Each structure stands twice: as C-alpha cells, then as structure tokens.
Structure 1
Amino acid sequence: MAEQIYTIPVNDAFDSECECPMCQMQKELERNAIEYTMGPSYMEDDNRAMTDKLGFCSHHLRLLYQEKNRLGLALMMNTHMNKTIKDMKELAAKGPASKAGLFGKSTPNAPIVDYIDNMEKSCFICGRMDNMFVRYVDTIFHMWKKDAEFREKFASSKGFCTYHYGILYKTGQSKLSKEQYSEFINALNKVFFEGMERVNEDISWFIDKFDYRYKNEPWKNSKDSVQRGIIKMGHTFVE
C-alpha cells in the first residue's frame, strides 16, 4: 500500500525497533504537542482560550517549564490563573453543598469541589495527544486490513507494552471482521508474549550479573533491561 500522510507516523514507529511502537507514537505526539503549545500558537486567541479553559496536568506543566519559552508559559499561566481565580471565587461564594436528609442520597460535592476535580482531569496537551492517538489506532487496523507488508512488519516487531496490548486487543474486535480479528489476535499475542519473555530474561540476567559467580560473564543484552522492562509494563521510561 502506498504510504500516505496518516500512515507515515505508524510506519515510522514500527520501523524504529522499539519495545512498543504505540509508546513511540505517543512520545512523538507529546513532543509535537509541547512544541505546538510553546510555539507561536500560544499567541493565537483560540489556543489561549483553550489553554485558559483546560490548563495542564502536572506532568505536562513540568515539561513545558523545561522548554526555553518561559515568557510563553508565563502568559498562558497568567490568563489561565485569572480565569481560575474568577471561576473559583464565584463558586466559593455559593458555599458548601446542602447536606442530604437522613434517608436521602449521599451529600453532593460543593460546586467548587467539582470544579477542582474536573480541573485536575483536564489538560490541553493530553487532549491534543488523545485526539490524534485515536486516529493512529484506527490507522493500525486500516493498514492491517489493506497492507500485507504492514502485517509482516507487525508480526516481526518487538511487541507492545501491557497497556497498549490491551488497547489493541479490545479495539480490534470492533474494527476487524471475525476472521481478521482472529488472525490479528494470534499475531498480537505472539509478539506481545515473546517480547515480554525476552525482556524478562534480560532482566533475570541483569540480576545474575550481581552474583559473584557471574562476575566475568558478558552482560549480553541486559544493561538497559530495567528501562525496557519499565516500558513493557506500560510506563514510558524517561532517562
């Protein structure tokens, strides 16, 4: 199948020979979203309105702080905090929620508590990443159905982390025919478990190397096994 714009990131991730191509896609999406957020776009009214409303999760706020554009971050933080202070003052003035009666339902949260809870779950960068990642997942199944070369690439990959294995396992049922799904699951299970066992064997050898009996033995592929194990268990490793 001829490569198209929406297939390029998927092919690039599977060509990278990483422990989880989908983690690789998310890593690239995150980098692109950070660059977009801290680029000239932060001066655009539409984007500022969205960052004012959604804010950033603690993880992405730390990444934004590591960028060189402190003025851009300060401008976004300033207008976001202005909105937050205004909203929270209005909600705080309403006071706590009324207590439920003896036989009523549990006492509802105060409006300001619900506001804070929603704010904690909201992030401009997470939302931007999630929207694009859904398209990448759809592209994987589109390519699985249409591209024999991609199916071979999938089958020869190093597998996936547990989190993305679960996403592929679940999503495939609604994206593929019964016959296609059966073939897909067989390939998915094979690369996933082979990849998990390979990395776990490397971790075991890493542990053995701290035993004096194996002091003079080669490290083989175990030196970065802990980092790769973290990825396999569904956590992006950051050096």
Structure 2
Amino acid sequence: MAEQLYTIPVNDAFTTDCECPICEMNRQLERNAIDYTMGPSYMEDDNRAMTDEQGFCAHHVRMLYAEKNRLGLALMLKTHTDKTIRDLKALSTGKPVVSGGLFKKQASSSVSDYIKRLEDSCFICNRMKETSMRYIDTIFHLWKKEPEFREKFANCKGFCTYHYGILYDEGSVKLPKDAYAEFQEILNKTYFAGMERVNGDIGWFIDKFDYRFKDEPWKNAKDSLPRGIIKTNHTIIES
C-alpha cells in the first residue's frame, strides 16, 4: 500500500514534457528537501543532529546558500563545524570517534577515515535517496497494475542514461520474466529513440555555427544543450 503513496508524482512526471521523468521527479524531490532543510526544521534537535553529522555535499550547499535563510544556514554550519573540529581534534591525537545517526555503531579510527565518511555524506542527498528509490518501485507497481501507465511510459521522451540503467536492472528483479521481456523491449525503444532525437538536435546546433547553414531554421536545436546534459548527466539545467 505504501507504494501507492507515490503514484501521483510518478504519473505527473510521465505526463510532463521532459527528457527524463525520473530526473523530473528527483528535481521536485530535491526542491522539497531544500525547502524542508531551510524551513523551521533546522531548529529541531533531531534534524540539527543529522546535519551536524552528515553535512552537505558541494552541490547542495550551493543551493542552500542561494536561499534567503542565511541565518538558518549559518546556524547549521556553526554546529556542524563545531562537531567536525571536536571529532578531528580527538582523532588527530589518536582517540577513536564513534558516530551516531547515519554512521551509527561505526567508529572512525583515523583522520582520513573520518573525512572520507564526511565527504561521502549529505543530509539532503540522504533525505532524497529513500524516496527516489520508492519512485522506482512505484513505476514497476504501475507497470504491472495499470495499462494506461504502460502507454504513458512508452510515449514519454525517454530517460537519461543513468536512470535507463536503473530501470534496466531493477526491472529484472521486480518483474516476472515474461513481463520483464516486454518492459525491456519498450524501455530500449523509448531510451534509444530519445537519445537519438537529442543527439540529432545537438548535431544541428553544431551545424548552425557553419556559415553554410546560418540562414536555415533552428528546428529543435536551440535548447539541445540543456536537454543533452539531462540525457548524459541526469542534471537539469534551470533556465
């Protein structure tokens, strides 16, 4: 039953005019996570304990800095750096540090070990991760239960390479063999059609810089670079 909680965002994404519905779902998920982090939640002890321990990746700290709540970000950075200084001072003198939360029951015995764990963690990434995988589960739930969704899936503009790979692999686990064969056929057709379409648009974008084609129409090439970035890097470039 919990899977069905995500049918609305999944269906909405597959009706959106986008190059990868999963990227579109994650874009909204990321926006919600940023709003949550910079909202009243940063004053809650449980959330502050997690941001203190997990910190933020470079991508998400830039997004947080772009928000209006500079005081909230300053408070989170202050307590996070307090903890980092305290832990690294202990480790630098040979004392082990046992982390809680994300790193529960995991002890850092060296400075490099601690920093690697910290560099690999992000409060927003971790908040997004579980829901993002539930979106994938929901796609297969809808595929099995709703013929209308299968039609939406087949008619979308395809997927980025990263999410194509996830669907390709997860389908073999979440669908019976016969159903997976059908899914794989439609997934491949949709993915390659979308990639070839965008590839062609990028090619025409390049050709337009040749004086021989300067008076030719742009067709669908003007926005081919941000669409190509979605396809190849599963990153949405905001206009």
Taking structure 2 as the reference length, the TM-score comes to: 0.91
Correspondence list, 1:1-239, <5 A: 5-94=5-94, 111-239=110-238
SS of structure 1 residue aligned to 2:36: helix
Alpha-carbon distance between aligned partners in 1 of 2:7 and 2:233, rounded to the nearest angstrom:
24
> Which of the pair has more CA radius of gyration?
1
Q: Is the 8 A contact 1:55 1:123 kept in 2?
A: yes
Two-structure CA RMSD over aligned residues (Å)? 1.5
Identify unmatched segments of 5+ residues in structure 1: 96-108
Provide runs of 4+ in structure 1 moved above 6 Å: none
What is the deviation of 1:175?
0.3
Q: Deviations over 1:162-209 (max 9, x none)?
A: 000000000111100001100100010000000001111111111111
Give 2:234's aligned amino acid.
H
Q: Deviations over 1:124-182 (max 9, x none)?
A: 00000101101100000000000100000000000000000000000111100001100
What is the deviation of 1:235?
3.4
What is the deviation of 1:237?
3.3
Alpha-carbon distance between aligned partners in 2 of 1:235 and 1:19, rounded to the nearest angstrom:
10
SS of structure 2 residue aligned to 1:7: helix
Alpha-carbon distance between aligned partners in 2 of 1:30 and 1:237, rounded to the nearest angstrom:
11
What is the deviation of 1:219?
0.5
Alpha-carbon distance between aligned partners in 2 of 1:187 and 1:200, rounded to the nearest angstrom:
20
Identity rate, percent = 67
Give 2:126's aligned amino acid.
G
Q: Is the 8 A contact 1:20 1:158 kept in 2?
A: yes
Alpha-carbon distance between aligned partners in 1 of 2:53 and 2:5, rounded to the nearest angstrom:
31
Taking structure 1 as the reference length, the TM-score comes to: 0.91
Q: Deviations over 1:46-97 (max 9, x none)?
A: 10111111111111111101100011111111111111111110000018xx
What is the deviation of 1:110?
6.4
What is the deviation of 1:227?
1.2
Alpha-carbon distance between aligned partners in 2 of 1:149 and 1:234, rounded to the nearest angstrom:
29
Q: Is the 8 A contact 1:164 1:234 kept in 2?
A: no
Give 2:90's aligned amino acid.
E
Q: Is the 8 A contact 2:161 2:234 kept in 1?
A: no
Q: Is the 8 A contact 2:27 2:236 kept in 1?
A: no
What is the deviation of 1:213?
1.5
Identify unmatched segments of 5+ residues in structure 2: 96-107
Give 2:22's aligned amino acid.
M
Q: Is the 8 A contact 1:161 1:232 kept in 2?
A: yes
SS of structure 2 residue aligned to 1:236: coil
Q: Is the 8 A contact 1:209 1:219 kept in 2?
A: yes
- Which is worse superposed, 53-62 or 229-238? 229-238
